[in-house]
Chain A
């Protein structure tokens, strides 16, 4: 194929080239609107094209190529050790730039791969975007996968997967499959997601809703957070309400609103819920503090629970030496050996050896050896083993007082 060559440090005026175009370093090409090259364009160094450029392939080397209009390439854009700045839009099959790519207009390609900086002023559409350094986009990003090793700032996103090694800040939008954050992630607007895995730090400044969330590092949500499954091994803090199916807390988890789960919660760490905790069941090895906790089925407490209004479940079991502050309400309440509780309301209440309670209101009460209760009020029976103690004589009544909750 014929080659048109523009010598170093020169200026040329071209409108179309049949074949390839080769520009030596420091050239300026002017055109009447669009320069159309049927073959490849190769820039050996810095260059400027004053107008639009359309070609089959684009190659550039060490230096910066400036395109004053749109750059439309049928096949690939490749810039080895070079940079590319486009005042209009970019359209190509694949874009691979070593240093930096700046695009003022819309950008579209199957793949963008940039070693240093990728900067866009408008929208970007791609199958994949991979940036070693920084990526900044002011318009909407539509892509399947986005990978970033450095700092990334995006506006609205509609992407499948986002893998962040460095720092990412997005305006909001949708990440349909996975957000994997090794470094730092922040979303400023409403966000929906498939799953989130946070090894470093994730911040949701607005409401966020999605599937499973796994936090090894730190998670903060300023507003409401919705999820299917939440696993916190590190630290989580939700400024609004947290709603999901189930949760497993190994670390520390604070909710400033309510925590509502359709299934269960398992907590070996510490949970603080300013308002109500509602779930099907709970297993607590660590500590829980909330205004009220309502479990539709069972509640096992191995650590410490503190409520202002009470904890209610069908069946409550406090393990050995556990602690409960605030009323406990259940059809069946078992207070394990050496456990200490305040008031207990139930159908059947069983205090095991050396368990201590303040007041017990129940149909049937059993106090085992060494158990101590200040007051017992019952409707059917009370059984006090040898060595168990009720400070005031147990009181039989026809009806128990209304239970809290």
Chain B
């Protein structure tokens, strides 16, 4: 979802694992502590079984936290997760500039 290139000048770029982690964090953030795995899967455009692996990793790294609500796990982003997103987006913006030619056209080269 986050890699929608509409309106940008950059050439299409394959989603890397880091982009997918950021996608999951952004979607979880929207639910303000009540993100359920199925809802996140719709937002992130990712099947639930695959998403579970990503979520487990993010919880292990302290970027997401899990809490039982009505007997089912609900997820929320942690301050470290917010920090990750801030750094990720800033880095993405700089990478885009660095990959652009001086005349403004995007380079075809991929990182």
**Chain A residues at the B interface, C-beta cutoff of 8 Å:** 81, 98-100, 115-116, 130-134, 147-151, 153, 165-167, 169, 182-184, 186, 188, 199-201, 216-218, 234-235
Q: Determine if A150 and B90 form an interchain contact, defined as CB atoms under 8 angstroms apart.
A: no
Main secondary structure of the interface of A (DSSP, over half): loop
Complex contacts, A200 vs chain B, CB 8 Å: 89-90, 92-93
Distance of B34 from chain A, by nearest CB (Å): 11
Q: Is the Cβ of B29 less than 8 Å from the Cβ of A99?
A: no
Which chain A residues border B26 with CB–CB below 8 Å?
149-150, 165-166, 182-183
Complex Cα spacing A100 to B39, Å:
11
CA distance A327 to B83 in the complex (A): 46
In the bound complex, what is the Cα–Cα distance between A134 and B4 (angstroms)?
Answer: 9
A-B pairs with beta carbons under 8 Å apart, 18 shown? A115-B38, A115-B40, A134-B1, A148-B30, A150-B4, A150-B23, A150-B27, A151-B1, A151-B4, A153-B7, A167-B7, A183-B2, A183-B26, A184-B92, A186-B8, A199-B89, A199-B90, A200-B89
How far is B46's CA from A133's CA once the two chains are assembled, in angstroms? Answer: 11
Residues of chain A contacted by B39 (CB below 8 angstroms): 98, 115, 132
- Number of contacting residues on B, CB 8 A? 28
Which 3 A/B pairs are nearest by Cβ-Cβ distance? A132-B43, A150-B1, A200-B89
- Which residue from chain B places its CB closest to the CB of A205 in the assembled complex? B7
- CB–CB A133/B90 < 8 A: no
For the complex, what is the distance from the CA of A169 to the CA of B9, rounded to whole Å? 13
Check if A132 sits within 8 Å of B42, measured CB to CB: yes
For the complex with contacts A150-B23, A167-B6, A199-B89, 12 further pairs of A-B residues with Cβ separation under 8 Å are A100-B42, A115-B40, A132-B27, A132-B40, A149-B26, A150-B2, A150-B4, A151-B2, A165-B30, A169-B7, A200-B92, A218-B97
